[in-house]
Amino acid sequence: MCRRIVAMLMQTRKQIGLSLSLLLAAALAATPSCAQPAPAAAAGNEIRIGNIMPYTGPLAAFANIGRAEAAYFDMVNERGGINGRKIKFVSVDDSSNPKAAIEQTRDLVEKQNVLLMFGSFGTPSNLAVRKYLNEKKVPQLFVASGDEEWAHPKAYPWTMGWQPTFRAEGRIYANYIQAAYPDRKIAVLWQNDQFGRDLFRGLQEGLGDTAGMIVADLAFDASETRIENQLGILKDSGADILVFDGAPAIAARAIRVAAEMDWHPVFILDNASASIAGALQPAGLQNSLGVISTSFLKDAGDASWKDDPHIKAWSAFVDRYFPDGGKDDNYAMFGYAAADTLLQVLRQCGDDLSRENIMRQAASLKDFQSPIALPGIVINTGPKDFRPIKQMRLVQFDGIAWQPIGDVIDSAFATGREDN
């Protein structure tokens, strides 16, 4: 169709001497089949944002991150949007399958014309699409994974993480054990993937010369649902500290089964599974009493925050925009805080919503604090610093809420080098 029109225009040009460029412009504007694909949507009154989440599959417990983000953007839109523009949040399911993530991401970029990808979940899926997004120069912002791979601005200038790294979290647990339990034996039950390996490596690094405290470690696959045999072996090792590093469903089972075995080690639980609703309640709150983890967000169930205006705002948000969510759901709070960080970036962009400026503003956050972040947890980024959150606090579950242990920790995040 387009070729026939161009041919006709060439003939018309010969006959009447009109400018071919003027004729082509008029014809292409009037002929939908000749039109170019729509540009990434930052035009008009809409900002299109893409997102990949495991709404189904073995890691579906994390899906409330995406649901809370969608609800947050609904709230933003109801309040007038960003500089008069509404957000169109397009969140799709990959079931934690990297192949599906590749297909979904291509569709979001090439057919649904998203301006950027935001907050997509998981290490394997984000690694699978990182090269494609960087070649396309599409921002891959605030990846929902604590892997260190999201902080290489030279090699991957369009990719940035958000949360603290798993490796630094492992170093925090090591330092805590050295200070509080220097004579205890450690067992580690870790998920056999990059997530599990990173945290375990950080634990070993943090222990340093005392890494011999680890008397046993066993891995499990993310798809496993039973870990009784592993727990039995670890109990028999004589360890009285158990560091668990895995997804929330298996974390709940580990806490419950250890109690059923009458094994009561100091139980250290990775931050990714430290959800009261997603792990501790299924494990049994009585079994979860005393569990230790890390946090960088407030716990809405902690009575000390009951008069905090930001927690009141969070509670009102859940009531109005996310009534199916839980106010004590760490994953929903994670999504809310990450979306709030993206909102700050878009505000800083002003009327320049080019992809280049979005990355420039994402790398220009200075002492930004999410309203539901713990005191002292601030976000700072730079052209050579793609690690937004570099502080955490140790916390312990008292049967109702997470209570802080000590001060904000940032020493575990010192890398001694710039990101590259």
Query: For residue range 35-87, what is the model confidence (pLDDT) as tens digits?
Result: 344 455 555 689 999 999 999 998 898 999 999 999 999 999 999 999 889 99
Q: Which residue has the tokens 């958000």?
A: 162
Residue 420 lies in a domain: no
Instruction: Determine the pLDDT at residue 369.
Output: 94
Share of the chain above pLDDT 70, in %: 88
Distance CA 150, CA 144 (A): 10
- What is the tally of structural domains in the chain? 2
CATH of the domain at 362: 3.40.50.2300
Instruction: Determine the pLDDT at residue 420.
Output: 66
Per-residue pLDDT band for 263 (boundaries 50, 70, 90) equals very high
Q: Which residue has the tokens 């002492």?
A: 367
Instruction: Determine the pLDDT at residue 303.
Output: 84
The stretch 400-420 carries a mean pLDDT of: 76
Same domain (yes/no): 73, 158? yes
Residue 360 lies in a domain: yes
Same domain (yes/no): 186, 159? no
Structure tokens at 75: 């709230």
The stretch 242-253 carries a mean pLDDT of: 94
pLDDT tens digits, residue range 141-155?
999 999 999 999 999
Residue 419 lies in a domain: no
Of residues 3 and 194, the one with the higher pLDDT is: 194
Instruction: Determine the pLDDT at residue 380.
Output: 96
Q: Which residue has the tokens 């056999």?
A: 192
Distance CA 253, CA 267 (A): 13
Look over the chain and give the mean of its residue pLDDT values, rounded to a whole number. 89
Structure tokens at 166: 């798993």
Q: Is the pLDDT of residue 221 over 60?
A: yes
Per-residue pLDDT band for 413 (boundaries 50, 70, 90) equals confident
Instruction: Determine the pLDDT at residue 45.
Output: 83
Neighbours of 263 (CB within 10 A): 18
Distance CA 287, CA 28 (A): 68
Per-residue pLDDT band for 415 (boundaries 50, 70, 90) equals low
Per-residue pLDDT band for 277 (boundaries 50, 70, 90) equals confident
Give the domain range for residue 366.
22-164+305-389
Per-residue pLDDT band for 214 (boundaries 50, 70, 90) equals very high
- DSSP H helical segments within 154-266, as ranges? 166-180, 194-207, 228-236, 248-260
What totals of helices (H) and strands (E) does the chain contain, helices first? 14, 12
Q: Is the pLDDT of residue 206 over 80?
A: yes
Residue 415 lies in a domain: no
Q: Which of 247, 268, 295 is the last residue of a domain?
A: 295
Same domain (yes/no): 28, 144? yes
Residue 210 lies in a domain: yes
Per-residue pLDDT band for 302 (boundaries 50, 70, 90) equals confident
Instruction: Determine the pLDDT at residue 272.
Output: 92
Q: Is the pLDDT of residue 222 over 90?
A: no
Residue 155 lies in a domain: yes
Residue 50 lies in a domain: yes
Instruction: Determine the pLDDT at residue 419.
Output: 63
Of residues 323 and 4, the one with the higher pLDDT is: 323
The stretch 371-387 carries a mean pLDDT of: 95
**pTM listed for this prediction:** 0.84
Residue 172 lies in a domain: yes
